[in-house]
Structures are given as structure tokens and as C-alpha cells.
A and B are shown apart, each in its own frame.
Chain A
Amino acid sequence: MHSVISISGLSKTYASGFDALKGVDLDIRRGEIFALLGPNGAGKTTLISIVCGLVNPSAGRVTVGGCDIIRDYRAARAMIGLVPQELTTDAFETVWNTVSFSRGLFGKPPNPAYLERLLQDLSLWNKKDNKLLTLSGGMKRRVLIAKALSHEPQILFLDEPTAGVDVELRRDMWQLVRRLRDNGVTVILTTHYIEEAEEMADRIGVITRGELILVEDKATLMRKLGGKQLTLQLAAPLAQIPAALSNYGLVLAKGGRELVYHYEAEGEDSALVDLLQELAAAGIAFADLHTTQRSLEDIFVSLVSEREPGREGAR
């Protein structure tokens, strides 16, 4: 596997005693868009911060492009661009100066032509001489992206890139991320907007309470967990599923009063018809039925609430 970032056994306990990460293992493939999904406080930002050098890990190891982030921090960090969650900019600097500063800070010689193209791409070129304090929130977000890309990184971290961002900028950002991926840049984004992950990501990781509970290709995940679901409200409760129906993978719910059947959303699937016929043959009558299509959001909510009993009520 061509992993560009390799994380093993990563743990973080803050001075307050809070366990933000509990032994996370994760490999990011070169050139992919990886979405890290999780509720607030799940450990997304801590994970990114450790990889980027903002937080000291308590245990575990991280390599970036084969370089250990502590022993070989220079090589590791030079490959990474980070767009933080908060809009933190130097108020009195101009756009051009702050982007040039970032490039120098990451050890690259000046390259005005590259920076001009970058600012053009981000619709910042006509603001290049503006002081940062005069810019709107959306423009500041663009500046932070320009800073992160100023040294031509191979890996870009976007921490909650579209939180509080208008539709236009969100669309621009998605376009930018795709363009970066086409140029071979690996993009890791954290988000709690499911649609963003659904729209953008090649692979998805779900993190909650400091544990990575799932890492999967988006397509596989959607197929595996995102299929259709048929729910039958039975006329009379069933104690167990009859043996004749065992190969449908049926699940009994609501104390035997509901029968749940998962099936592929796409393709010619005659199993549904077969099932209904066999149900009739087995003498199982139902009062009502409905079908639902699970979105990534449902998958996410169910995954997270499985782990967090306290959140169950919120569903």
C-alpha cells in the first residue's frame, strides 16, 4: 500500500486528564481525499494537530512520507500544508506579504509567479495589497488556504474547511480540492457535514471519543451500509425467523413486531419479490411496510450512537 501518512498507536492525554485519542491506527494513501468524520470533541483536531506538530503525542508514532514527525520533523513538516479551523490571521499584514511569509517559513525560495497563480485560483489576486483585517470571513478563509498551499505541499490538511462558509465558497473549495487531488496532492479534511464527505471523499474514517471506529472506501461503505432497507410491520409478533427464510439475513426488531430486510439499492434484485412470496408461503402476514434508503448521515449517526449510549436519545 502506498501510504503517505502512517499513524500507529497514537494516543493523547491532555494535562487535564482528558483522553483525546486512544490508540489510533490509520494509513492515508497517497493522492486520496480522506474525510475524517466525527462529532465535536471526537479527537479530529487533536489527530491533525499531532501530525502537524502543534500538539505533543502521549504515545504512538506518526510518519509522513516515511519521515518520523519527531525525529525527522523538518522533512515531514515541509510536505504538509495546514488550514486551521479558526480564522487566525495577522491583522496588519497584506495578503501578499502573509502568503510570501508562509512560503519562506516553510523553507522555499520566493516564487512570485507561483504565488500569483495561487492567489488567482483563490480569487484573491485583486485583494493582494489589502490588509487582512479589512477582509471578510470568507476571504480570510481563502487566505488561510493560500498560506497553506504557498509552499507547494504534497499533503493538505483542511480542518473543518466549510464551517460557517457560504455556498459559493464551499463550491469553490470543493473544486479546489478536486484540482489538488488531480495534481497528486493528498487531502485530509475533517468535517461534521456528512454531505461534504459524501460529495468529496475517496475514503472515510469515523472517529468518536478518541477512537477510530471505521475506515472504509466511500463506495464500499455506501454499498455495505447505505443500501435500502425494507421494514415490515407484522400482523402478529414473531419469536424467531423461520428457517426457510434464513438466507435473507432478516433482522427482527421491536420485540418481534418488525422484520427488517437490507438489500442493494441498485441493480435488478429479484430477492425482494422472492422474499415477499416466501413470507406469504410461510404464513407471515404484515400490516404495513416501508422502505428507506440509508444516507451516510444515517450510517454515521448509528455508528456514533452505538458507541455513545448517551446520544441515543438525540436520534
Chain B
Amino acid sequence: MNWHAVRAIYLFEMARTRRTLLQSVLAPVITTSLYFVVFGSAIGARIPEVGGVSYGAFLVPGLIMLNLLTQSVSNASFGIFFPKFSRTIYELLSAPVSHFEIVLSYVGAAATKSILLSVIILATAAFFVPLRIEHPLWMIGFLLLTAVSFSLLGFILGIWADNFEKLQLVPLLIITPLTFLGGSFYSIDMLPPVWRTLTLFNPVVYLVSGFRWSFYGHADVAVGISLGMSMLFLAVFVVVATWMLRTGYRLKP
């Protein structure tokens, strides 16, 4: 293992995060606070309990997942896309680093950032609603698994995208709708049966459901299935990323 390289890339990526600290931390905190004020307090007061908890509390795991997914994808995709765009990637490609080391450092840094943000959002949420975490270990497990999986997805996206537009479009057109429709803001039990069945094809449902279970012990789908699906996403993304690096897809002509 070339640990010096892993460390160098990881610190380089974290330095990039530090430079944009204000916008990358302040933005999610303010957005989340707004969600709690609008949906949690104003509208939430007129919504009966969902899954045994107040609507404000119900929202917390979904909002964290929403942020975790979008932040993981955008951090990791930008991290690898930008050197490609500015052509500084020549150095990475000519360095004595393995594919595993490249993924470990880029995905590790992106996941670190999105997990930090999730923790900040969780802390922010505690100001607005009474929180309860019934299965903290599962909660951390889902957090890690999702952060790593979707940072990997971002990494794949960053290699695939050959312009800024594609880099923005995929999160906007795919990730965000899937998250909003994946039960971040509602229980899929609230949906008519046809829509409920359709929703089960949305991978985000399993992530949100499992994560919410770790908070309140109540889930839309069995937690085992959630875990299995999370592992499956991770496996698929690992395979795709490995293939990309091995063949030099869009990296090496």
C-alpha cells in the first residue's frame, strides 16, 4: 500500500472542503432548519403522528438521508471530475498508486465530508424536535454504508461526466427526485397501493426506511431487506468503479 499517496490525496480533498467550509456547512444547516420550521412546526402541527412519532421527528432521518445522498454524490463527483477538467489528473495517472488506493482516498474524503454534514444536521435537528435513536449502532452502520456507496456513485459519475452540465444533471434529474419520492418526507404506507408497489423499485426507499428504523424502530420495509439492498448498491458501485479504473474508461485514451 502506498499510504503516503492515500494520505496526500485525502488531505488534498479535505483541504478543498476546508476552503469552502462556509458554503458547504452553512448551506445544509440553513436548509434543514427551514425544513423543520416549515414542515416540522408550521405544517407538521396539523399532521397527525406518523409511525408513532411526531411529523417533525419523522422527518429527521429522511432529511439526513437526503443530504447524505446528495452531498456524497456531489463531493465525490466534483473531486475526481475537476482534476480531469483542469487536466491536473496527469499526475494521479502517472503516480505509483493502485486503483484501490485511488478509490479509497477520493471516496474516503467525500464520505468523511458527507458524514460530518449529517452529524451537523442531526445536531441542528435536536434543537427543533425531540430525538430518539433506538439502534445507534445500526444508525452508524447505515450512515457509513450509504455515505461510502453514494460517494462511490459520485466517483463513477465524475469519471463518466465529460462536462459540467452532465455533472449537474444526474444529481438534479435522478438523485434528487428519487430521494424526494423515496419516502424522505412521508411513509410509503400513506400511498395508494399501486404507487406503493412502484415505489419499491426506488432504491432510496430502502435506505431511508432502514435509517428511520434505526431511529424509531419503525420501518416501511423489513430492516434486513434494507441492509441487503444497501450492500447490493455498494457491491454494484464497487464493480463499476473497478471496471472504469481497470479499463481507463474516460481517463486514459
Contacts and interface: CB of A to CB of B under 8 A. Distances in A.
B46 interface: no
Contact of A107 (B4, B92, B93): B4
Contacts of B91: 82, 102, 105, 147
A92 interface: yes
B12 interface: yes
Interface string B19-40: 1000000000000000000000
A52 B94 contact: yes
Nearest to A76: B96
Given A104-B7, A105-B91, A75 B96 contact: yes
Given A55-B252, A105-B9, A92 B19 contact: yes
Interface residues of B, number: 26
A105 B252 contact: no
A53 B93 contact: yes
A112 to B, nearest CB: 14
Interface residues of A, number: 35
A253 B3 CA distance: 66
Give the most central of B4, B87, B97: most A CB within 10 Å: B4
Given A88-B88, A104-B8, A77 B96 contact: yes
A250 interface: no
B96 A55 contact: no
Among A84, A90, A109, chain B packs the most CB atoms within 10 A around the CB of A90
A215 B221 CA distance: 70
Contact of B248 (A14, A56, A75, A88): A56
Interface string A59-84: 00000000000000111111010101
Contact of B12 (A82, A101, A107): A101
A170 to B, nearest CB: 23
B94 A77 contact: yes
Contacts of B2: 74, 107
Contacts of B19: 92
B252 A54 contact: yes
B90 A88 contact: yes
Contacts of A15: 253
A108 interface: yes
A74 B98 contact: yes
A277 B219 CA distance: 109
Interface string B94-133: 1111100000000000000000000000000000000000
A56 B94 contact: no
Contact of A90 (B86, B90, B93): B86
A78 B253 CA distance: 22
Interface in B225-253: 248, 252-253
A125 interface: no
A31 B111 CA distance: 45
Given A74-B2, A82-B90, A56 B253 contact: yes
A255 B9 CA distance: 67
A40 interface: no
Contacts of B96: 73-78, 106-107
A274 interface: no
B5 interface: yes
Nearest to B10: A104
B94 A88 contact: no
A55 B253 contact: yes
Interface string B66-96: 0000000000000000010011101111111
B250 to A, nearest CB: 11
A84 B90 contact: yes
Q: What 3 A-B pairs are tightest by C-beta distance, nearest first? A: A104-B8, A77-B96, A88-B87
10 contacts: A52-B94, A54-B93, A75-B96, A76-B96, A90-B86, A93-B15, A103-B4, A104-B7, A105-B95, A107-B96
Interface of B: 2, 4-5, 7-9, 12, 15-16, 19, 83, 86-88, 90-98, 248, 252-253
Given A80-B94, A90-B88, A92-B19, 16 more contacts: A52-B94, A53-B93, A55-B253, A73-B96, A74-B96, A76-B96, A77-B95, A84-B87, A84-B90, A88-B90, A93-B15, A97-B15, A104-B4, A105-B8, A105-B95, A106-B95
